[in-house]
Structure 1
Amino acid sequence: METQDFCYNGCRTLDDGKRDGKPMNISYQPLWNTLKERGMRKEDLRLAAGLTTNMIANMGKGEHISMKTLLRICEALNCGILDVIELTQDEEN
Structure 2
Amino acid sequence: MANSIIARLWLSCKYKERTCMISYEPFWNTLKLKNISQYQLIHKYNISAGQLSRMRSNSNISTHTINALCEILDCKVQDILIYKK
Q: TM over 0.5, yes or no?
A: yes
- Following the alignment from structure 2 to structure 1, what is the Cα–Cα distance between the partners of residues 10 and 46? 34
Question: Which structure's residues are more often strand, by fraction?
Answer: 1
Give the equivalent residue in structure 2 for 1:4: none
* CA-CA distance at 1:49 after TM superposition: 3.6
Report whether the alignment pairs 1:55 with 2:56.
no
Give the paired residue count.
77
- Following the alignment from structure 2 to structure 1, what is the Cα–Cα distance between the partners of residues 10 and 49? 33
Letter in 1 for 2:24: Y
- Following the alignment from structure 2 to structure 1, what is the Cα–Cα distance between the partners of residues 42 and 9? 34
Which has the higher relative contact order, 1 or 2, with Cα contacts under 8 A spaced 6 or more apart? 2
Give the equivalent residue in structure 2 for 1:17: 12
What TM-score, normalized to structure 2? Answer: 0.75
Aligned-pair Cα RMSD in Å:
2.3
- The structure with the larger Rg is 1
Runs of 4+ in structure 1 deviating by more than 4 angstroms, as ranges, are none
* Structure 2 portions without partners, runs of 5+: none
Letter in 1 for 2:41: L
What TM-score, normalized to structure 1? Answer: 0.69
Question: Which structure's residues are more often helix, by fraction?
Answer: 2
